[in-house]
């Protein structure tokens, strides 16, 4: 390896997808060389120590191929001025950099670091700006120290920034002590990245710390897939695939002894999930045991609503039971029943709370019932309190209400259910409403299905579909698909199938439909105003020609092309003003949650901040994202069917192709179709649609809640 030192003169070429950069590098006073390499962060004027090899390109001649690039302190007045004016130091641009160098010369960097109060001697710099400059300079110096260490261990500068933000000046110590913490603490860092760092630091492949970290990570991955536990044999097998080594069972026993996981009859849990599952089962059984009858005014209800017998039974049970689950598909009258129950509770003088898992679902619930509704997170008042960030409604600060209605219950995972029940007062009635045939929650557990399967909690299943004038084919075909039958397709109503076979033809037609044909059709037929949320593309997978990622690129290019709008590129992701975006992780500080969809309102390319407009049950609000937070956002012109749960769109467009065969299942088709309110358009092959309908082998979720409910009933 060869090492050279010098200054970046200019950037000739840069690919933001893989950070491949071609730049001119000045060594000494006269020599300027072409350098190439994958560098995540590089600025003209920087002085660097490059390590690599000289190579001869058959077209471009002699080049220096860079393996690593480490910053060094500028050693000339010109270098200092270029360094300070490069944009690395917040509050210092080229003009301010020149003033500073004119005032302090070669001592400029020393003054900023050691005696920053002297910066006020420069015209235009007050005390506040001097503090900003000094703070930014010190942060950059700390970051450089971290970058030098991390880069030498194969970590990209962008990830180094995230590590620094998480641990500050302790970053190097944290990474040296336990690099596997990165996978637990930092969004976007997986076990493989942390493992690569650990091995580069000299950790042996069979080191017990590595094996234990691999076991915990494998269990965490299972939770990401919706399981609350893994059988011991499966956990060992998954860890073996991950680490490439046989894992002794004794390591599971060690982790269990340290309470880092719980083992119960060969079921391996993360402690938080084990405790949540136990608490939920006990709380549900205690509530279900109580009888709290209210009068049911049958005659008055019949004069206002024509209720079917099973609907009347649902309303009566809501008057009689402390805890009730109502489940049914589209068109079975869940909304009507909810209104009737609320009316009865109001007559009894009840204070009633309404909630849903997402802001969109809460907004729709409020509109349908005429009662205010909140997300569960807002109902439980997530925020900063006496014990730090968390739900402020809990065992010691319970919700005060006579009744609580929770809609879209299929979306509730075991963690959220646990927090909700811990905050519910023992005198509060609970009504859970949801469709058990939809996809289960994105998070761990299968709460709605487990409650029903336990056979110990009062449940009303609505099966009758109410036929009305101009009956929706969406509703009829959703039920046909759910029952395993091929949909009725005549393309004259609100359920349309457009036959295409080649994936490229499918994606091309979807773009044409969304950009041109459907807006015209919807305006004419429904007299609707078209906005960014009118038409939503749903697709089963992320990858492939007709997957989320590719469709988003195609739709962004067509619907929101580059022009005078500001944009920002972060890695392979390009964001542009007016883009439709989705939050992909819960961010409690910003009060935005996994699946929330908004529109980019403003991008400041200089400060690298993005403002996003979100609309939910609270109204319009703007949320700011810094550069290192933008991986929490993704384009949302197309989203996965899983991410669409709890939402409803006027128009849904969905590819149905054998490319998606792995995930093409009956409940996924059913969930996607039932997201459409006015019109659903399927694009693909009838063969793929047939295969999806016949595939009712939904992936098993390991959950023990149903059994725990039955055991809790037996022990009482």
Structure tokens that stand for 601 in this block: 């309102």
Lowest mean pLDDT across 149-158, 434-443, 573-582, 602-611:
149-158
Q: Give the pLDDT confidence score for residue 652 in this predicted structure.
A: 96
pLDDT band at 563 (very low <50, low <70, confident <90, very high): confident
Query: What tens digit of pLDDT does each residue of 564-580 get?
Result: 888 887 767 889 999 99
Compute the distance between CA of residue 163 and CA of residue 174 in angstroms, rounded to an integer.
Answer: 9
Question: Phi/psi at 397 (nearest 5 deg)?
Answer: -150, 75
Q: Give the pLDDT confidence score for residue 468 in this predicted structure.
A: 58
Compute the distance between CA of residue 630 and CA of residue 699 in angstroms, rounded to an integer.
Answer: 32
Select the highest-mean-pLDDT range: 109-113, 154-158, 182-186, 292-296.
Answer: 109-113
Q: What is the DSSP letter of 701?
A: -
How many other CB atoms are there within 10 angstroms of residue 339's CB atom? 17
State mean pLDDT over 30-47: 80
Write out the H or E segment, with its range, that includes residue 32. strand 31-38
Helix (H, G, I), strand (E, B) or coil at 51: strand
Q: Give the pLDDT confidence score for residue 156 in this predicted structure.
A: 63
pTM equals 0.76
Query: What ranges make up the beta strands (E) of 203-311?
Result: 229-231, 262-264, 267-269
On average, the pLDDT of the chain sits at 87
pLDDT band at 421 (very low <50, low <70, confident <90, very high): very high
Nearest to 21 by CA among 34, 3, 2, 7: 34
Check if the beta carbon of residue 231 is closer than 8 Å to that of residue 266: yes
Lowest mean pLDDT across 46-50, 78-82, 549-553:
78-82
Q: Give the pLDDT confidence score for residue 157 in this predicted structure.
A: 55
Residue 37's DSSP bridge partners are 21
Check if the beta carbon of residue 42 is closer than 8 Å to that of residue 15: no
Task: State what percent of residues in the chain have pLDDT above 70.
Answer: 93
pLDDT of 502 higher than 50: yes
Structure tokens that stand for 310 in this block: 């099973």
Compute the distance between CA of residue 88 and CA of residue 102 in angstroms, rounded to an integer.
Answer: 19
Query: What tens digit of pLDDT does each residue of 88-107 get?
Result: 677 788 888 899 999 999 99
Structure tokens that stand for 503 in this block: 């994936």
pLDDT band at 516 (very low <50, low <70, confident <90, very high): very high
Which strands sit side by side in the sheet containing 580-583, from one edge to the other?
619-625, 609-616, 597-604, 580-583, 633-635
Q: Give the pLDDT confidence score for residue 303 in this predicted structure.
A: 46
Q: Is the dihedral of CA 360, 365, 370, 374 positive or negative?
A: negative
Question: Phi/psi at 688 (nearest 5 deg)?
Answer: -65, -40
Compute the distance between CA of residue 273 and CA of residue 260 in angstroms, rounded to an integer.
Answer: 12
Q: Give the pLDDT confidence score for residue 89 in this predicted structure.
A: 74
State mean pLDDT over 464-479: 79
Helix (H, G, I), strand (E, B) or coil at 230: strand
Q: What is the DSSP letter of 382?
A: E
Nearest to 302 by CA among 315, 292, 293: 315
pLDDT of 86 higher than 80: no
Question: Of 706 and 544, which is predicted with more confidence?
Answer: 706
pLDDT of 143 higher than 70: no
Question: Of 42 and 198, which is predicted with more confidence?
Answer: 198
Nearest to 185 by CA among 233, 229, 217: 217
Question: Of 162 and 237, which is predicted with more confidence?
Answer: 237
Q: Give the pLDDT confidence score for residue 154 in this predicted structure.
A: 66
Check if the beta carbon of residue 401 is closer than 8 Å to that of residue 425: yes
Write out the H or E segment, with its range, that includes residue 613. strand 609-616
State mean pLDDT over 186-196: 81
Q: Give the pLDDT confidence score for residue 158 in this predicted structure.
A: 60
Check if the beta carbon of residue 100 is closer than 8 Å to that of residue 122: yes
Compute the distance between CA of residue 684 and CA of residue 239 in angstroms, rounded to an integer.
Answer: 38
pLDDT of 504 higher than 90: yes
pLDDT of 18 higher than 70: no
Lowest mean pLDDT across 256-260, 379-383, 470-474, 666-670:
470-474
Helix (H, G, I), strand (E, B) or coil at 246: coil
pLDDT of 233 higher than 70: yes
pLDDT of 68 higher than 90: no
Compute the distance between CA of residue 716 and CA of residue 712 in angstroms, rounded to an integer.
Answer: 6
Nearest to 247 by CA among 232, 229, 227, 263: 232
Residue that is written with structure tokens 């003169």 in the block: 9
Write out the H or E segment, with its range, that includes residue 233. helix 232-243
Q: With left for phi above 0 and alpha for psi between -120 and 50, is residue 408 left, alpha or beta? A: left
pLDDT of 235 higher than 90: yes
Q: Tell how strand 382-385 and strand 20-27 pair up.
A: unpaired
Select the highest-mean-pLDDT range: 539-543, 586-590, 638-642.
Answer: 638-642
State mean pLDDT over 612-640: 89
pLDDT of 17 higher than 60: no
């Amino acid at each position: 390896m060869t090492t050279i030192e010098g200054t970046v003169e200019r950037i000739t070429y840069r690919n933001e997808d893989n950070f491949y950069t071609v730049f001119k590098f000045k060594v000494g006073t006269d020599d300027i060389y072409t350098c190439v390499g994958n560098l995540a962060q590089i600025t003209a004027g920087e002085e660097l120590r490059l390590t690599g090899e000289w190579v001869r390109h058959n077209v471009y001649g002699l080049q220096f191929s860079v393996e690593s690039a480490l910053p060094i302190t500028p050693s000339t007045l010109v270098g200092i001025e270029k360094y300070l004016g490069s944009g690395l130091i917040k509050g210092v641009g080229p003009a301010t950099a020149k003033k500073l160098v004119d005032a302090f010369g070669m001592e400029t960097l020393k003054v900023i670091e050691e005696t920053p109060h002297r910066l006020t001697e420069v015209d235009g710099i007050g005390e506040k700006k001097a503090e900003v400059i000094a703070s930014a300079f010190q942060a950059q110096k700390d970051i450089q120290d971290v970058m030098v260490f991390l880069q030498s261990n194969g970590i990209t500068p962008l990830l180094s920034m995230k590590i620094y933000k998480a641990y500050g000046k302790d970053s190097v110590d944290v990474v040296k002590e336990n690099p596997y913490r990165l996978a637990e603490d930092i969004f976007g860092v997986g076990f493989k990245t942390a493992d690569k760092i650990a091995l580069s630091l000299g950790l042996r492949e069979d080191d017990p710390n590595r094996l234990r970290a691999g076991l915990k990570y494998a269990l965490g991955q299972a939770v990401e897939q919706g399981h609350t536990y893994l059988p011991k044999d499966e956990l060992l097998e998954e860890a073996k695939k991950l680490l490439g080594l046989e894992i002794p069972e004794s390591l599971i026993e060690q982790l269990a002894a340290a309470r880092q996981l719980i083992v119960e009859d060969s079921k391996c849990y993360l402690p938080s999930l084990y405790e949540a599952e136990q608490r939920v089962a006990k709380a549900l059984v205690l509530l279900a045991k109580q009888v709290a009858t209210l009068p049911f005014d049958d005659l008055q209800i019949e004069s206002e609503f024509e209720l079917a017998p099973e609907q009347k039974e649902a309303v009566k049970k809501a008057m009689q039971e402390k805890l009730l689950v109502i489940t049914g598909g589209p068109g079975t009258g869940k909304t009507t029943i909810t209104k009737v129950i609320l009316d009865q509770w109001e007559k009894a003088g009840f204070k009633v709370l309404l909630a849903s898992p997402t802001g969109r679902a809460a907004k729709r619930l409020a509109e349908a019932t005429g009662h205010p509704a909140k997300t569960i997170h807002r109902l439980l008042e997530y925020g900063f309190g006496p014990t730090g960030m968390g739900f402020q409604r809990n065992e010691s600060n319970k919700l005060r209400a006579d009744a609580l209605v929770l809609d879209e219950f299929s979306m509730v995972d075991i963690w959220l259910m646990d927090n909700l029940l811990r905050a519910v007062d023992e005198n509060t009635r609970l009504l859970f409403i949801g469709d058990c045939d939809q996809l289960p929650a994105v998070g761990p557990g299968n709460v709605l299905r487990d409650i029903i399967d336990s056979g110990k909690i009062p449940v009303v299943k609505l099966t009758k579909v109410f036929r009305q004038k101009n009956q929706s084919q969406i509703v009829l075909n959703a039920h046909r698909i759910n029952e395993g039958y091929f949909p009725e397709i005549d393309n004259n109503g609100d359920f349309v199938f457009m036959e295409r076979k080649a994936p490229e033809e499918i994606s091309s037609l979807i773009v044409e439909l969304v950009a041109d044909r459907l807006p015209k059709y919807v305006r004419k037929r429904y007299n609707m105003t078209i906005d960014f949320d009118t038409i939503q593309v749903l697709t089963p997978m992320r990858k492939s020609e007709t997957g989320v990622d590719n469709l988003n690129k195609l739709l962004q290019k067509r619907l929101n092309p580059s022009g005078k709008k500001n944009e920002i590129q972060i890695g392979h992701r390009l964001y542009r003003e007016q883009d439709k975006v989705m939050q992909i992780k819960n961010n409690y500080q910003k009060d935005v949650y996994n699946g929330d969809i908004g529109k980019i309102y403003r991008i400041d390319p200089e400060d690298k901040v993005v403002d996003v407009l979100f609309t939910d049950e609270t109204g319009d609000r703007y949320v700011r994202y810094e550069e290192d937070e933008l991986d929490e956002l993704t384009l949302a012109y197309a989203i996965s069917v899983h991410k669409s749960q709890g939402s409803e769109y006027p128009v849904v467009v969905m590819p149905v192709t054998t490319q998606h065969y792995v995930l093409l299942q009956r409940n996924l088709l059913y969930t996607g179709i039932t997201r459409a309110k006015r019109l659903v358009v399927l694009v693909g092959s009838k063969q793929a649609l047939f295969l999806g309908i016949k595939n009712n082998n939904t992936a098993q979720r390991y959950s023990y809640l149903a059994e725990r409910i039955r055991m809790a009933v037996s022990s009482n």
